[in-house]
Amino acid sequence: MSTAKTFSKAPYRRRVISEVRPAILSTSATELEVWLSSRAAPAYRRKQVWGWLARGAASFAEMGDVPKPLRSELEREFRVTSLRQVAMSEADRGLTTKTLYELDGGHSVESVVMRYSGRSTLCISSQAGCPIGCPFCATGKFPFGRNLKAHEIIEQALDAVRVLGTEGRRLSHVVFMGMGEPMANYHAVVESVRRLSDPELLGISPRRIVVSTSGLIPRITQLGEEKLAVTLAISLHAARDELRDVLVPINRKYPVADLVAAAQGYADRTSRRVSYEWVLLAGVNDTERDAKELGRLLRGKLAHVNLIPFNPVDDTPYRAPERGAVRRFKELVEAQGLTVTVRDTRGRDADAACGQLHERVMLAGRAQGALLTDRSVVPAS
């Protein structure tokens, strides 16, 4: 498939996928077992198929311990995945890779794999686009597309497993911090967390799964009742309403004090420390006043602050802070008695801020073929 061709005219909804076979993981365990039984195959074949998917199988033909006639029937009836790789970019000498996938119906989403010593983390998307519209975010600049289905979320992880497997690595952590507001696609996100942590599928401990939200309070409360024990991350970015109303517009509906109270409720219920994300925007939210307000908001809470130096996004008025400003703000927050980490800025040249590869491919497509001449954006084969 020529990616330049795919995106050369109207980037959204251009390609109508005529593929009618469902993706295998769009069926539940029970549905698949019923299907197997209708082919006179025992129920344990479902576990075998899932086991192969969890090991990164890219086709039914690879599933060696499944009888060949059944593999052929599976192939006729299902697809291994509904995602099609459209473009890739990489940074940090290959330690960070970002993949853009096209979904059935033509929308696209990104996910990012980050490789560290002893662990590999996947940043996953839950929506095509995002309805929240934070003004510093590349994803928020595009019109909202649609919610992902649970299987489309899991398929991003299966693709990461496949890629990491070829490098002798395994996927150990998943963070829902890609495109979209996970809590606005609540049921699919919760189902995908259950399946990511299902020992018969990927078996990733919920403690190694982070679900982020810009602040949909009713869903935070609901998540606390799910008994999932995932880590909750709040995309905070400002501690006073007048600034957060601008940076994270959902704050106008769910003010920051109520949000932190709901997050603390989650921490009390699950005994899990809440992570507060703070994208540092030079001169906007990196002042002494901001640090003091953050201290007042979180002091005494089961909380950890993650500072994320802004990854510049075109056509926004925001700038990344200087290294010294990041260090100074960290010290100011620590002086408030909070625990703070500065997140490493993985993948700056991989368009690693959420939505940036998507934006770049869309714009390249509009420029009629620029994609193929851009060295850091590699069309997927």
> Which residues participate in catalysis according to the annotation?
110, 354
CB of 254 to ligand SF4, least distance (A): 13
Q: What is the DSSP letter of 64?
A: T
If binding is defined by CB under 6 A, does position 139 make contact with ligand SF4?
A: yes
Task: Tell me which residue has tokens 């979209």.
Answer: 180
Task: Give the start-end residues of each E strand in 188-264.
Answer: 209-213, 231-235
If binding is defined by CB under 6 A, does position 133 make contact with ligand SF4?
A: yes
If binding is defined by CB under 6 A, does position 251 make contact with ligand SF4?
A: no
Task: Tell me which residue has tokens 């890609």.
Answer: 178
List the one residue from 110, 155, 159, 181 that touches ligand SF4 (CB under 6 A).
Answer: 181
Distance between CA atoms of 305 and 328, rounded to whole angstroms? 15
Q: Which stretch binds ligand SF4 (CB under 6 A): 133-141, 158-166, 187-195, 319-327?
A: 133-141
Which one, of 130, 123, 94, lies nearest residue 308 by Cα? 123
Closer residue to ligand SF4 in complex, CB, 22/133:
133
Own/partner long-range contacts of 187-190 (Cβ < 8 Å, ≥24 apart)? 187/150, 188/126, 188/147, 188/148, 188/149, 188/150, 188/153, 189/126, 189/150, 189/153, 190/223, 190/226, 190/228
SS3 57: coil
Please state, as a whole number, how many other Cβ atoms lie within 10 Å of the Cβ of residue 152.
Answer: 26
Q: Which stretch binds ligand SF4 (CB under 6 A): 17-25, 66-74, 135-143, 217-225?
A: 135-143
Strands 108-116 and 303-309: unpaired
If binding is defined by CB under 6 A, does position 312 make contact with ligand SF4?
A: no
Burial of 271 (0-12, 13-18, 19+ CB in 10 A): exposed
If binding is defined by CB under 6 A, does position 140 make contact with ligand SF4?
A: yes
If binding is defined by CB under 6 A, does position 148 make contact with ligand SF4?
A: no
CB of 27 to ligand SF4, least distance (A): 29
Q: How far apart are the first and last CA of the chain?
A: 7
CB of 367 to ligand SF4, least distance (A): 24
Q: Which of residues 210-229 bind ligand SF4 (CB under 6 A)?
A: 214
Q: Which stretch binds ligand SF4 (CB under 6 A): 153-161, 178-186, 189-197, 373-381?
A: 178-186
- How many CA within 13 A on the CB side of residue 263? 30
Which one, of 175, 173, 179, 247, lies nearest residue 215 by Cα? 247
Closer residue to ligand SF4 in complex, CB, 157/234:
234
Total residues contacting ligand SF4 (rule CB under 6 A)? 13
CB 63 within 8 Å of CB 317 = no
CB of 64 to ligand SF4, least distance (A): 40
Q: Which of residues 343-362 bind ligand SF4 (CB under 6 A)?
A: 354
Q: What is the DSSP letter of 188?
A: H
Site string for ligand SF4, 34-53 (x = CB under 6 A): --------------------
Task: Give the start-end residues of each E strand in 181-302.
Answer: 209-213, 231-235, 274-280
If binding is defined by CB under 6 A, does position 130 make contact with ligand SF4?
A: yes
CB of 216 to ligand SF4, least distance (A): 10
CB of 161 to ligand SF4, least distance (A): 24
Closer residue to ligand SF4 in complex, CB, 189/354:
354
Distance between CA atoms of 3 and 370, rounded to whole angstroms? 10
Site string for ligand SF4, 227-246 (x = CB under 6 A): --------x-----------
Which residues would be at the binding site for ligand SF4 (CB under 6 A)? 130, 132-134, 137, 139-140, 179-181, 214, 235, 354
